[in-house]
Structure 1
Amino acid sequence: MDNVDRELISLLRDNARIPVMTLARKLKVARATVQNRLARLEAQGVIMGYTLRLQSDAIEQGVRAITGIGISGHHAAEVRRALRGHPNVVAIHTTNGRWDLLAELRAESLEAFDKVLNSIRSIPHIENTETSILLSTYKM
């Protein structure tokens, strides 16, 4: 990957719907060059898709949080399976820090979120949790 590829990716991060001709003009290369680079980056898996970004308050998101999860013994796989099937768990991450897992959670309200936390804490082999509610999100 060279500087043109990096600049192309930067432009697409800002606006994935920018026309190829506009990309070519901004990068000072031919339209075919942009199309070939896009095709190569997609084939290599560097660009895995194009996505939609919504204004943070455009859709009701409710309560969002990150929960650190401590697991007893060697039961991480069992806990991951239980969390994977939980409707309020958006993502599960392994980590090398204090917690065995980090789970991203969502619920409609604080009351619903309280129930979500209680249901997660009742999963066998979860020893302890610590939750941080996400207040604002800033995209890099």
Structure 2
Amino acid sequence: MTRSSERDKHTGRYVPDDLDRRIIAYLRADGRASLSKIADALGVARGTVQGRLDRLLETGTLLGFTARVREDYDANAVRAVMMIEVVGKSTTQVIRKLRGMTEIHALHTTNGNWDLVADIRADNLSEFDRILREIRLIDGISNSETSLLLSSV
């Protein structure tokens, strides 16, 4: 159980401290690092790292661990950013539908002319075309603009 001083007084959410942030940063660089390796690198006990990781996972601050692959791992993969305009008060419904699509790796609300930004990843152009059509058919989406990501610089 977390102490009250570790929770935001307005939202009640767990607020990571400096050690938590350093553990997360270490895991971002090496998600396969052992508890002992992290503890040694950060100058704390292995049990401290284990306890912090348990709390970060329990509070939902840390959602899990993923594998990172080389940029050129799958040369046929298609990545894009889609800007989406939503009609009226249907944003919640649109978000719910978009979150159910496995090809959408991240979804963000934004300001300005667009309401949402979707990070889309597809295995190939045919799959990319299919997902674009599916997104455009969602009730509540009035307009979209999509840009393919060609290379990282």
Would the TM-score normalized by the shorter structure come out above 0.5?
yes
C-alpha spacing 1:19/1:98, structure 2 compared with 1 (3 Å)? same
Higher relative contact order (CA 8 A, sep 6+): 1
- Secondary structure of the equivalent of 2:72? coil
SS at match of 2:68: coil
Task: Extract unaligned runs of 5+ from structure 1.
Answer: none
Shift of 1:14: 0.7
Change beyond 3 A, Cα 1:41–1:102: closer
Kindly report which structure 2 residues correspond to 1:56-67, keeping only aligned pairs within 5 A, or say none. Answer: 56-67=71-82
The aligned residue for residue 17 of structure 2 is 2
The corresponding residue for 1:33 is: 48
Name the SS of the counterpart of 1:136 in structure 2.
Answer: coil
Structure 2 segments unaligned to the other structure (5+ residues): 1-15
Aligned residue type for 1:27 = L
* Bigger radius of gyration: 1
Aligned to 1:51: 66
Please, what TM-score do these two structures have when normalized by structure 2? 0.65
Of stretches 86-95 and 56-65 in structure 1, the one that deviates more from structure 2 is 86-95
Amino acid at match of 1:33: T
| TM-score, length-scaled by structure 1 | 0.70
Q: Percent identity between the aligned chains? A: 44
Amino acid paired to 1:65? A
Q: Which residue of 1 aligns with 2:83?
A: 68
Aligned-partner SS, 1:64: strand
Change (3 A) 1:133 1:34: same
Superposition deviation, residue 49 in structure 1:
1.4
Cα drift, residue 36 of structure 1: 2.3
Cα pair 2:76 2:124 within 8 Å, conserved: no
Distance 1:37 1:134, change over 3 A: same
User: Structure 1 residues 56 and 40 mapped into 2: Cα distance closer, same or farther (>3 Å)?
Assistant: same
SS in 2 for 1:22: helix
Which residue pairs with 1:135 in the alignment?
A: 150
CA distance in 2, matches of 1:45, 1:15: 20
- RMSD of aligned alpha carbons: 3.1
CA drift of 1:65 comes to 1.0
Deviations 1:53-72 (A, max 9, x none): 11122234522111112234
Out of 11-20 and 65-74, give the one that drifted further: 65-74
Separation (CA, whole Å) in 2 of partners of 1:124 and 1:102: 17
Alignment of 1:114-125 (within 5 A): 114=129, 116-117=131-132, 120-121=135-136, 123=138
